[in-house]
Amino acid sequence: MPKTPPQCPMDSILRLLMGPWTTYIIWVLIDKGPQRFGALRRSVPGISTRMLTERLRMLQGAGVIWREQAETIPPAVTYGLTQRGDDLRSVLDSLGEIADRWKAEGVFEGAMDRMPLKMDKSGKRALSASPDG
């Protein structure tokens, strides 16, 4: 009987977090607290309404954020972190500190030149949101 190789216990959570815009959305909710959809979209520059909706649905499905819709016209939809989302606060704070330190050390200089690029709708070069470029 073949043995199954051990799986990294972090693999699933890292796959969840590495989706396009995901950590940025969580960071905004950590930094600013619960946000209405429009305010959240304005806080994540460059994200489309469609992508934000997709990411929010995915995070809600994973139990990382909550969604509350007020019965108003137009509907007021607010998003915030669940306890599961709040569990990520210290991890993302630590990653942020590391990123600041590495940036000060020049680690990212030139690295951005090697990242896959694509053209945005205005014809400008933009970092690819997908891992395959």
Model-wide pTM > 0.95: no
The pLDDT assigned to 7 comes to 87
Structure tokens at 77: 């939809």
Percent helix, percent strand, percent coil in the chain, to nearest 5? 45, 15, 40
pLDDT surpasses 90 at 121: no
Rounded-to-integer distance, Cα 58 and Cα 81, Å: 13
pLDDT surpasses 60 at 123: no
The three-state secondary structure class of 67 is strand
Structure tokens at 34: 């619960």
- Report which of residues 133 and 79 the model is more confident about: 79
Structure tokens at 66: 């909550």
| In-domain check, residue 28 | yes
pLDDT in tens, 67-86: 999 999 988 999 999 999 99
| In-domain check, residue 6 | no
Chain center to CA of 2: 37
Q: How many domains does the chain have?
A: 1
Rounded-to-integer distance, Cα 76 and Cα 63, Å: 20
| In-domain check, residue 123 | yes
Structure tokens at 35: 């946000």
| In-domain check, residue 119 | yes
| In-domain check, residue 90 | yes
The pLDDT assigned to 113 comes to 58
Structure tokens at 1: 């009987």
The pLDDT assigned to 120 comes to 47
Q: What is the CATH number of the domain that holds 27?
A: 1.10.10.10
pLDDT in tens, 6-57: 788 899 899 999 989 999 999 999 999 999 999 999 999 999 999 999 999 9
Largest Cα–Cα distance of the chain, in whole Å? 61
State the residue range of the domain holding 108.
11-127
| In-domain check, residue 35 | yes
Please say whether the beta carbons of 117 and 127 come within 8 A: yes
